[in-house]
């Protein structure tokens, strides 16, 4: 009897715990209306490549930067032309609703981070090329709704983004690609970066250079107003060997050279103060 009562309590706890988790979830809805050939669009004739593209865009809209620490995202597809239902944390959905409201009211995506802006540009390009109507909304009560079709112009203002040269440091985790060769660099500051390169450049690398530290010199786009880096459009210039190590003999030689400057100094603090000229006073 005691065991049975404990099992009932456990089942109640699990149901209650699941209910709490469900209460903390919301969803965004991306509805695609259009045709494939002469047929109305529906899940049965919607290609898997289109689904993958929408899911990638949805992730970039919700979490443009730190994807490693993002909450769980789940997915389902429904009738109604094609409805993509992307479930995630309620807090993320609230933030997303504010973003599409701002895009709707300003009719601009220039204020968005580059990956989010690029995701909406992808929807806009599909609307123009394929004649799709795309409705983006959320599960929130009185949610904003963003409509993208052939009449809208959700593109970034080109003069906001300028060519720039960047230096990155990190671990090279992948390299190659059949049609679009690239390298993947894992950095502390920017996360994982995908940087396009020439196949010939990779072929010249005879040694195994994966999982080693490198400096990377690359071309890309930078927002002149916010300083933001466009991580979707990076082009490799060169890889720079980056092997920081402790060199005791080199450090000793520097200390020996510097010691001559300290000869005759009896009060180091007073001597340093004179060198600074009261700069830190």
141 and 41 part of one domain: yes
CATH number for the domain that contains residue 237 = 2.40.50.140
Domain range for 165 is 159-241
The tens digit of pLDDT for each residue in 198-232 reads: 888 888 776 777 888 899 999 998 888 778 888 88
Q: Are residues 171 and 197 in the same domain?
A: yes
Co-location of 33 and 141 in the same domain: yes
Please indicate, yes or no, whether residues 164 and 233 belong to a single structural domain of this protein. Answer: yes
Is 120 a member of any domain?
yes
141 and 176 in a common domain: no
Q: How many domains does the chain have?
A: 2
* Residue showing tokens 């400096």: 215
**33 and 129 both lie in a single domain:** yes
Same domain, 69 and 173: no
Q: What is the mean pLDDT of each run of 10 residues along the chain (281 residues)?
A: 49 43 81 93 94 93 83 93 95 94 94 90 94 96 95 86 90 86 91 90 78 91 84 90 69 72 72 64 48
- For Cα atoms 196, 197, 199, give the angle at the middle one, nearest 5 degrees: 130
The pLDDT assigned to 265 comes to: 72
- The size of the chain, in residues, is 281
- 130 and 197 part of one domain: no
Full-prediction pTM beyond 0.75? no
* Of residues 138, 122, 141, 140, the one with CA closest to residue 130: 122
| Rounded Cα gap, residues 162 and 186, in angstroms | 24
CA distances from 218 to 156, 182, 189, 238, 241 (A): 22, 12, 15, 7, 14
> Domain for residue 112, yes or no?
yes
Tell me, what CATH number does 62's domain have? 3.30.70
Any domain includes 168: yes
Q: pLDDT (tens digit, 9 = 90+) per residue, 13-53? A: 444 444 435 558 899 999 999 998 899 999 999 999 999 99
Tell whether 204 and 106 lie within a shared domain.
no
């Amino acid at each position: 009897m005691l065991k049975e009562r404990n099992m009932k309590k456990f089942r109640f706890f699990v149901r209650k715990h699941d209910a709490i988790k469900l209460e903390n979830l919301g969803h965004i809805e991306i509805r695609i209306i259009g045709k494939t050939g002469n047929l109305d669009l529906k899940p049965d004739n919607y290609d898997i490549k289109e689904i993958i593209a929408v899911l990638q865009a949805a992730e970039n809209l919700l979490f443009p930067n730190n994807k490693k620490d993002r909450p769980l995202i789940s997915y389902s597809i429904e009738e109604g032309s094609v409805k993509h239902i992307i479930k995630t944390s309620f807090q993320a959905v609230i933030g997303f609703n504010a973003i599409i409201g701002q895009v709707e009211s300003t009719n601009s995506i220039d204020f968005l981070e580059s990956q989010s802006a690029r995701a909406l540009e992808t929807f806009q390009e599909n609307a123009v090329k394929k004649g799709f109507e795309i409705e983006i909304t959320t599960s929130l009560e009185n949610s904003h709704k963003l409509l993208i079709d052939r009449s809208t112009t959700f593109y970034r203002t080109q003069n906001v983004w300028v060519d720039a040269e960047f230096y990155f440091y990190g671990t090279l985790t992948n390299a190659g690609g059949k049609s679009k060769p690239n390298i993947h660099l894992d950095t502390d500051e920017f996360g994982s970066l995908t940087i396009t390169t020439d196949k010939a450049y990779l072929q010249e690398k005879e040694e195994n250079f994966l999982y080693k530290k490198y400096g990377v010199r690359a071309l890309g786009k930078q927002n002149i107003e916010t300083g933001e880096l466009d991580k979707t459009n990076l082009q490799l210039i060169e890889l720079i060997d980056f092997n920081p190590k402790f060199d005791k003999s080199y450090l000793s030689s520097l200390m020996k050279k510097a010691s001559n400057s300290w000869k005759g100094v009896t009060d180091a603090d007073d001597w340093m103060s004179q060198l600074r000229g009261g700069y830190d006073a």
